[in-house]
Structures are given as structure tokens and as C-alpha cells.
Amino acid sequence: MRFLMPNHPYEFKLPDEWWVEGRMEGFTPQSEAYAYPVAESVIVVPLADVQPLRRNVEKDWRGFDRGRMISILQGIASKKEIPAIDVIDLTCNHHPKPQFRYALSGGFHRFHASIAVGFRSIPAIVRPDLDAFFLAEGEMQSQSHRDT
């Protein structure tokens, strides 16, 4: 089966047998995102705002691990709570403004499974832009050395 990426110029494919084994035949999303453990640090973000993580790792199928993907699809089908993905906030100190608000840093299979099943959003834990964090940290250390 082929799935179009939201706000991205490509599509991805999952083998039909994974879809069947994941109990996705006839599945229709009843919410904007999969069920997840509620935590103060988790927010729900639009999938179209997340820059996907590219994978060149040789797995079972084009970067996907069969067992991992089927497990996530089965969890979605049974409304099991699934952990949030990790994203980096790209809006911190970026000039010009980036195309995407977030970049996926963890949750490759959850991200693609959410697109495949038709969710519009995904639970995420937003991490700071590490480049901006370390730049600010370096500037603070530099300032403290000048003050002494």
C-alpha cells in the first residue's frame, strides 16, 4: 500500500501483508492521533508540521522493521497507549523560518504508521533545538569568562 506524506514531496509504501497482520483492514481513525500516556510534557502536533527522519538503514522493507511496524499498527487498532514521538523545535533561532516547525528525532515507525492509518496529528515530546541550546550555552560561558 502507498501513502502520501503530508506537506512532503514523496510517498512511502508498506507491504500489504503488514497491513493485514497489523489488523488495519477496514480501520477508520476515530480521533486525530493514537492513544498515548498522558504526561505534562506531551503535546499533540500536526503531522504536516513534522519534518520526517530519513533512514538509510537496511531493514525488512525500505527502512522499516517488520515486527516494529506491525506491533505499532496492532497497538493503534486495539487503541493501546503508545509512547509519544520525540521532535526538535526548529523555530528556535532559525533564520530564515524553516519549512517545518519540528524535526522528527525519535519515533520513525510511529510517525509513518500514523500517516498510514490516516491520523492528522501525533503525540510528541518537544525537545529544544540542540544547536541553538549549545550556541546559547557557549555564549553564556563566554560572557562569564569576560566578566571574571
How far apart, in whole angstroms, are the C-alpha atoms of residue 13 and residue 4? 9
Task: Evaluate whether the domain defined by 2-147 bears CATH number 3.90.1530.10.
Answer: yes
- The residues that bridge with 51 in the sheet, in sequence order, are 103
Mean pLDDT per 10-residue section of the chain, whose length is 148 residues: 86 94 96 95 96 70 87 97 94 74 93 97 88 47 39
3-state class (DSSP) for residue 13: strand
The pTM for the full model equals 0.82
Nearest residue to 92 (alpha-carbon basis) of 128, 126, 127: 128
> What pLDDT sits at residue 37?
95
pLDDT of the residue at 53: 81
Rounded Cα gap, residues 51 and 91, in angstroms: 12
Domain ranges of the chain: 2-147
